[in-house]
Amino acid sequence: MKDVIISPSVLDADFLHFSDEVNKIKNAGINWIHFDVMDGHFVKNISFGNLFLKTITNRIDLIKDVHIMIEDPLSMVKKYQEAGADYLTFHYEACRDDAEVFEVIDKIHECGMKAGLSIKPGTPVTKVYPFLHSLDLVLIMSVEPGCGGQKFIEQTLQRIFALKTKIRDEEVHTLISVDGGINDETGENCVQMGADILVVGQYLFGHGDFNERVERLLK
């Protein structure tokens, strides 16, 4: 079995039966859950926000992996702490400069959360290197953020490998997460290149064989 964390993205879950979807995750032996937050500005679509999360996270005994695709992440850090996030991942591209990136990371840690930094497919992976000693997680987007169902971008594999090599060279323990177009085939390729976490949405939800699909991701 692969040594990899599966973080199901509930953006693709059935929200009319959300408690059943959470139970599927738990019954499959998964202890992470991924929330994609979109503000309609940083990305075109809008999903749920901090108030929605706050109403449900205290009922979910899973690690809350929250990815905020929003403008001005610094102003929202405290709100997502109050909403129950365990990991809070923001976008490099949402910050003015490296100083602001460090400021957001520090604020996340001050609020007792793990800090993640995400990059879009067009952003060089080297942009995250200055922050590796401060980060708990780097989220590499393998599709353009903001819309599900896109095809996995193959160049992501080289980006994962380059980042994993840098992490080993720096002797840090930053986790690599990958999000977008993940299935049993692309997920296996990502893990081979060094990914630690697979964010999986449409491949898992909306099918009758949830557990079997998890097993295929882990085999």
Residue 179 annotated in active site:
yes
DSSP codes of every residue in 50-110: HHHHHHHGGG--SEEEEEEE-S-GGGGHHHHHHTT-SEEEEEGGGSSSHHHHHHHHHHHHH
Q: Which residues contact 49 (CB under 8 A, 6 or more apart)?
A: 37, 39
Strand partners, 141: 179
Residue 169 annotated in active site:
no
DSSP conformation class of 209: -
Which residue in the block uniquely carries the two structure tokens 């602001």? 100
Confirm if 33 and 64 have CB atoms less than 8 A apart: yes
Catalytic-role residue among 65, 136, 179, 196: 179
Two tokens at 74? 């610094």
The CA-CA-CA angle for residues 125, 131, 137, to 5°, reads 75
Cα 69 → chain centroid? 11
Confirm if 125 and 119 have CB atoms less than 8 A apart: yes
Q: Which residues contact 40 (CB under 8 A, 6 or more apart)?
A: 46
Catalytic-role residue among 36, 65, 136, 196: 36
Two tokens at 15? 């929200």
Q: Catalogue the active-site residues.
A: 36, 179
